[in-house]
Chains A and B, each alone.
Chain A
């Protein structure tokens, strides 16, 4: 079943970050190859002489993909809320990928600050995509303050380790069957993305895995196919795992040669 994100059905379950590409041209090629449903964007200080922000904005306009601004790098509720407000004005969308970072080694979300920031922003009309963990209690709190999407991490941001806690992600899917769920962070290769979709996740958010590949546009295309494969596999209802072997070739009628 295709779920909507705050009433919007994405054209692809692939959400693609726009950071860390070797050049704007390579970013453009990667986005075209990935055909993502959303691209994530951010805000940074700019002095009057610079035009980097304007150039990036022009590129985003040219690509024509819906944007999801983030609050990356924010460590407090106030910072995240203020950044979200600035992003809403600059990017003209009330969608926000809410990050409140709690720990520098893992970039693990500060889930207490996250819930509070989500509450404040939801009350102010934002449609919040919270970057969270697979903790079900935190997830309940996020939903209670008005979030309609959850984005648990697969592994620490930029680590490329894939789905570190498949049990936890599976539990989250089972516990919230009707909530759009996105694996955000930690995906390193297309098979990780396919796995998330096979588990029933509704989307994946990728950045470093594409941007830091030797050939970003080729990797972007690989992710496009991986999310298609994962989506189809989920629809096809995968077989149950077993602990012991079961022969796939029929044994009836086998020649007696021993």
Chain B
């Protein structure tokens, strides 16, 4: 299945957002996720089912003003 992660197209076998994060190799990184513009909290990742063309955002802490 093809999905878009941070604007890059990925071919993945993961079926859920939690599985996707594992498959992409984020491991235990401190990240937050959104799918199709909506926030997906950590407890919801395992039950968030991916679909073809889903737009996933994965963000991490960053310097800010």
Contact = CB atoms under 8 A, between A and B. Distances in A.
Contact of B63 (A21, A50, A90, A91): A21
A72 interface: yes
Main secondary structure of the interface of A (DSSP, over half): mixed
Contact of A19 (B25, B33, B34, B64): B64
Contacts of A27: 63
Interface in A197-237: 205, 207-208
Contact of A48 (B24, B30, B37, B61): B24
A85 B30 CA distance: 14
A242 interface: no
B32 interface: yes
B62 A56 contact: yes
A28 B39 CA distance: 31
A130 to B, nearest CB: 15
A17 B65 CA distance: 4
Interface of A: 17-21, 27, 40-54, 56-57, 60, 69-70, 72, 78, 82, 85-87, 89-91, 157, 205, 207-208
B41 interface: yes
- Interface range for B: 20 to 34
A48 B28 CA distance: 10
Contacts of B57: 45
A180 B4 CA distance: 42
Given A40-B65, A48-B25, A78 B37 contact: yes
B39 A42 contact: no
A45 B25 CA distance: 15
Interface in B40-65: 41-42, 57-65
A107 to B, nearest CB: 11
A53 B60 contact: yes
Given A46-B59, A47-B6, A48-B25, A82 B64 contact: no
Contacts of B63: 17-21, 27, 41-42, 56
Nearest to A51: B29
A53 B38 contact: no
A62 to B, nearest CB: 13
B31 interface: yes
A138 B44 CA distance: 36
Nearest to A16: B65
B3 to A, nearest CB: 14
A44 B38 contact: no
Contact of A86 (B24, B25, B32): B32
Contact of A45 (B38, B39, B41, B59): B59
A237 to B, nearest CB: 33
A20 B31 CA distance: 22
Contacts of B62: 41-44, 46, 52-53, 56
A47 to B, nearest CB: 7
B11 to A, nearest CB: 15
